[in-house]
Structure 1
């Protein structure tokens, strides 16, 4: 089963979910703003994808953080703490494909390679 991690009102999430729906793929959606980020999943994402790819420095939530919070996220441990406390700074979507591989972000080309 494909698992899509993200928040429902994000435009990138909407495009990713629409693409999956258009392909007729079933998936589980995990809203990490509502249900939280499973700590074991976050650790896996950071290990396999790297904290720099998981941390979304281009989003509104990041821009609203104070400078001390941003500075604290300058390494893996600090980023992990911020990502757990502020799930909206996680790049979206994170997809766990049915074969266990992970992707971050949406690209129809990348998604197609996982079918």
Structure 2
């Protein structure tokens, strides 16, 4: 079964969840705003996709950080601490099946990922 991680009120998450439902893909949704995000779970994300792609530096949450904080995020340890403190800064959605993951959402990307997993 697929597991998708993110936060419910995100437009991109809504598109991904709708796509999965419309395509009758069974999945479990983990909302880390309400269900939490442990350091171990975050580390599993980092192990799958890397800390740099996971850190959303194009979103509002990143832009709201002061310049000194943004400049200090230069390695996995500092990025992980920031992501645990502020889960909204994690790029989403993250779709996982086994040891494979897809970060972000596009129709073509999801179609190919699901096809590859069969």
The equivalent of 1:38 in structure 2 is: 38
Number of the residue aligned with 1:64: 64
Q: Which moved more, 1:100-109 or 1:51-60?
A: 100-109
RMSD over aligned CA atoms reads 1.3
Q: TM-score, normalised by structure 2?
A: 0.89
Residue 110 of structure 1 is matched in structure 2 by 109
- TM-score normalised over the length of structure 1: 0.91
CA-CA distance at 1:58 after TM superposition: 0.8
Post-superposition offset of 1:50: 1.2
Deviation at 1:43, TM superposition (A): 0.8
For the 8 Å contact 2:33–2:87, the answer to whether it is kept is yes
Shift of 1:109: 1.3
Say how many residue pairs are matched. 114
Give 3-state SS (helix, strand or coil) of 1:13's partner.
helix
Gaps of 5+ in 2: none
Equivalent positions of 1:1-115 (< 5 A) are: 1-97=1-97, 99-115=98-114
4+ residue segments displaced more than 2 Å: none
Q: Any stretches of 5+ residues in structure 1 without a counterpart? A: none
Is 2:6–2:30's contact at 8 Å kept on the other side of the alignment? Answer: yes
Contact 2:91/2:104 (CA < 8 Å) preserved in 1?
Answer: yes
1:66 positional shift: 1.6
Per-residue deviation, 1:89: 0.3
